Amino acid sequence: MTRNVSITLQNTDDARPIIEAIEQDNPDAVVHHYPSMVKIDSPGQLTVRQSTVEEKLGRDWDVQELHLSIISLSGNVDEEDEYFTLSWQ
Amino acid sequence: MSVATKARKLGLKQRYALMTRGLGWETTYQPMDTVFPYDTYEGIKIHDWDAWEDPFRLTMDAYWKYQSEKERKLYAVIDSFAQNNGHLGITDARYVNAIKLFLTGVSPLEYQAHRGFAHAGRHFRGVGPRIACQMQSIDELRHAQTQVHAMSHYNKYFDGFHDKTHMHDRVWYLSVPKSFFDDAMTAGPFEFLTAISFSFEYVLTNLLFVPFMSGAAYNGDMATVTFGFSAQSDEARHMTLGLEVIKFMLEQDEGNTPIVQRWMDKWFWRGYRLLALVAMMMDYMLPKRIMSWQEAWEMYFEEAGGALFEDLSRYGIRPPKYHEVAAKEKDRISHEAWGIFYNYTHAAAFHTWLPNEDEMAWLSAKYPKTFDKIYRPRYEQWAKMKAEGKRFYNNTLPQLCTTCQIPMGFTEPDDPTTICFRSSEYRGERYHFCSDGCKDIFDYEPEKYIQSWLPVHQIYQGNCGGAELGQVLDWYHINQGADNLDYDGSPDQQLWDKWMSDRKKAAS
Amino acid sequence: MPVTAIGKYEFEPLDKRENFHGNIITYWNWEKHLMFCSPVALPFPPDMRFGDVVEKVFPDVYGAHPDFEKVDWSKVKWTLNQEPFTPDFDRSLEENGFDHKCVVRFWTPGLDGYKGSAN
């Protein structure tokens, strides 16, 4: 059985383009809305792609800007200049 | 904020290598073992410190940039909360009591974490973990400061916020979080990281910050939500450090596995017991609730933790011992904890109350197996006593568990109507525990816990201001008649009710 | 070694009997009455008469409960340190086998709390 990885982001103007990008790039992800936060679960793996977030934002975006919006995560982290990935092996 | 230019000369991995490993050196005036005397005695064997990898690859320059941005955002909110009388926007003043418990119970732990990570960082000879600990140490200091700042606004209007550090060192229920952290701080650096970074941050902290802070938002407390999530944004990095340290130890030497497993068992149980206070905050102290303790436990421990331990099974790690006991207790610990504080709220620096009809209906729907059978009748009886003018306070001090220091109010794993008693003998003395989990921890290192500063025994030994309750409360710096007793009739309630009736008058 | 430590690690227990000014600490629990959230801790001189605990101290400890006045003390079932035990009300705690940090649990047949809910 594939276990979910998970990321929780603040429900803010900064985070909304990231949430949209995650939804677009991870078709199996399920988005849960709570007061002031959004929790996204995805089976096995979840990727935040720099190019997609930049498309949504209309500006350059450093993957490390994720630090400003993230609340929690579950899964092994792999971060590079172009992406941020959570996975269970 | 300013955006880093895309045409970088170095990639993230290279920058990280240069800004961490590149900063370390082998000592020559003194041998490394003398400079770093504490990173071997716990029995953890490390063959290659350079195998440490920070998955976020955060370097100090980027750290300062993002942290200052977080601070700017946070202080803008705290400022506008204070300027706009944000305290008038909360759902009900009962809620503020959760914040009192947070300020006296949790914020001092943030400060202790600041000290603990500075100490652990100093004592790792590897540069990777040293830098990760340094960042976390600064984070924790930031959390302690921003929490005090944010909550200082409530101190202008509500009771119980005036002396958190003094209370943390003395008040009976605050010995629960205090002793938890003292236990971790007095362990070696690897156990400290397993305790705080892994078991607390990775496995359990979500339960403290995430649903509770979302609940704060739901109850109109903008200041708390903001410091909570600002702190939590560091927490994601701390969690990653926690998982990293575990994998690092497990990959370095097979002999590390049993040591790591034992620490996981111990610190899961210690953290879980501490969270009984959070369980009660979620189920009883938020006037508007978003999820029950049981639901949060299922989402964050059983599901997320389940995935984590399945991932770690490739190293020969199993889920922490007694996790199945925690599963059995998930529909009762919040009620048992609230019962303890209802009993002894005359000796606490916050108020308790009986849940109202709507709240009982919610609790009954969330806890169908236990609430109507055990806890509703309890509240009915207390309501009856209160109506007769005899609000129940327990006027005899409770027996405490030697390990977690919580009053022995938890019940047998398979019988929610019988108190769980466990005991051990060590060098001719008898010691008592609330659970097999707490007993096991004692049995492994009894010398550590025979020193437990148990508040009830300290009172009986005459070390807490006097033999009368009033003298002890003075010694705690609890303002009697204001900070303590039931919410009904408290100065907090009177002030809040006046504000609300003034608002109605102004609106009509 | 009882503790993983950087050196010698030996300490005196903080709660040994001589620290309580001649008293022993005793713990008591009225079973199936969880309105009292946990067992209570009471310091007593070891030569105190057992019956005095029940007759003079219990009313302050447990009197708030409506069941308390209905208790028939001749039918109560006791354990001392988890062993079944029949107290002699006229003998001292020590003569009844009480020691420092002992646990006394008692069941009151027919009285199982408010509406039988163990409260």
Domain extents in chain B: 17-350+469-507
Is the pLDDT assigned to residue B57 strictly greater than 80?
yes
Integer Cα distance of B157 and B153 in angstroms: 8
Integer Cα distance of C44 and C42 in angstroms: 6
Chain C residues with CB-CB distance to B187 below 8 A: 4
Question: What per-residue confidence (pLDDT) applies to A41?
Answer: 96
For B395, C49, C109, the CA distances from C59, given in Å and listed in that order, are: 11, 16, 19
Chain B residues with CB-CB distance to C82 below 8 A: 421, 423
Which three-class secondary structure state does DSSP give residue C64?
Answer: coil
CB contact under 8 A, B43 and C43: no
Integer Cα distance of B94 and B496 in angstroms: 9
Query: Which regions of chain C are under pLDDT 50?
Result: 1
- The second-level CATH assignment, the architecture, of B17-350+469-507 is Orthogonal Bundle (1.10)
**Residue at C12 is within a domain:** no
Categorize the per-residue pLDDT at A1 as very low, low, confident or very high, splitting at 50, 70 and 90: low
Question: What per-residue confidence (pLDDT) applies to B3?
Answer: 53
B197-224: per-residue pLDDT in tens?
A: 999 888 888 887 788 888 888 888 888 8
B232-261: per-residue pLDDT in tens?
A: 888 888 888 899 999 999 999 999 999 999
Question: What per-residue confidence (pLDDT) applies to B8?
Answer: 53
Whole-number CA gyration radius for chain A: 12
* C-alpha closest to that of B473 among B101, B98, B160, B95: B160
Categorize the per-residue pLDDT at B289 as very low, low, confident or very high, splitting at 50, 70 and 90: confident
Which three-class secondary structure state does DSSP give residue C116?
Answer: helix
Question: What per-residue confidence (pLDDT) applies to B484?
Answer: 98
Categorize the per-residue pLDDT at B93 as very low, low, confident or very high, splitting at 50, 70 and 90: very high
Integer Cα distance of B106 and B103 in angstroms: 6
Instruction: Give Cα C21 to chain centroid, integer Å.
Output: 19
Name the residue with tokens 């020691």.
C99
Whether the CB-CB separation of B227 and B146 falls below 8 Å is answered with yes
Token reading at B15: 């920058």
Best mutation site among B192, B457, B458, B469 for testing chain C: the one with the most C CBs within 10 Å? B457
Q: Which of A11-25, B1-15, B361-375, B397-411 has the lowest mean pLDDT?
A: B1-15
User: How many residues in total does chain C contain?
Assistant: 119
* C-alpha closest to that of B207 among B285, B112, B280, B126: B280
CB contact under 8 A, A60 and B55: no
B456-475: per-residue pLDDT in tens?
A: 999 999 999 999 999 999 99
- In DSSP notation, B425-492 reads EETTEEEEESSHHHHHHHHHSHHHHTT---HHHHHHTT-SS-SSHHHHHHHHT--TTTTSS-STT-HH
CB contact under 8 A, B447 and C11: yes
The predicted model gives B348-370 an average pLDDT of: 97
Integer Cα distance of B380 and B352 in angstroms: 16
The predicted model gives B14-34 an average pLDDT of: 89
B contact chains, 3+ CB pairs < 8 A = A, C
Categorize the per-residue pLDDT at B1 as very low, low, confident or very high, splitting at 50, 70 and 90: very low
CA distance C118 to chain B (A): 6
Integer Cα distance of B185 and B113 in angstroms: 8
Chain C residues with CB-CB distance to B41 below 8 A: 4-6
Indicate the residue of A35, A36, A81 with minimum beta-carbon distance to B11.
A81
Chain B residues with CB-CB distance to C117 below 8 A: 373-374, 377-378
Residue type, B176: V
**Cβ-based contacts under 8 A for chains B and C:** 151
Is beta strand B411-412 parallel, antiparallel or unpaired with respect to B415-419?
A: antiparallel
CA distance C113 to chain B (A): 9
Question: What per-residue confidence (pLDDT) applies to B228?
Answer: 83
Domain A4-87 fold is: Phenol Hydroxylase P2 Protein (3.90.56)
Is the pLDDT assigned to residue B111 strictly greater than 70?
yes
CB contact under 8 A, B229 and A89: no
**How many structural domains comprise chain C?**
1
Token reading at A24: 């677009």
Q: What is the CATH number of the domain that holds C91?
A: 3.10.20.560
Instruction: Report the alpha-carbon angle B250-B251-B256, nearest 5.
Output: 35
Is beta strand A45-49 parallel, antiparallel or unpaired with respect to A83-87?
A: antiparallel
Which three-class secondary structure state does DSSP give residue B350?
Answer: coil
Mean pLDDT over all residues of chain B?
93
Whole-number CA gyration radius for chain B: 24
**C–B contact: 3+ Cβ pairs < 8 A:** yes
Percent of chain B with pLDDT over 70: 98
Question: What per-residue confidence (pLDDT) applies to B18?
Answer: 86
Burial class (CB in 10 A: 0-12, 13-18, 19+), B120: buried
Higher pLDDT, B55 or A45: A45
**A–C contact: 3+ Cβ pairs < 8 A:** no
For B193, B197, B318, the CA distances from B188, given in Å and listed in that order, are: 9, 13, 23
**Most confidently modeled range among A10-14, B21-25, B170-174:** B170-174
**Residue at C59 is within a domain:** yes
Question: What per-residue confidence (pLDDT) applies to B240?
Answer: 86
CB contact under 8 A, C14 and B452: yes
Token reading at B389: 């003018």
**Residue at C87 is within a domain:** yes
Question: What per-residue confidence (pLDDT) applies to B5?
Answer: 53
Question: What per-residue confidence (pLDDT) applies to B213?
Answer: 83
Question: What per-residue confidence (pLDDT) applies to B208?
Answer: 79
Indicate the residue of B1, B62, B210 with minimum beta-carbon distance to A71.
B210
Q: Which residue of B has its CA nearest to A7?
A: B236
Residue span of the structural domain in which C47 resides: 21-116
Residues of A with CB under 8 A from a CB of B: 3-6, 8, 10, 34-37, 59-62, 64-65, 67-81, 88-89
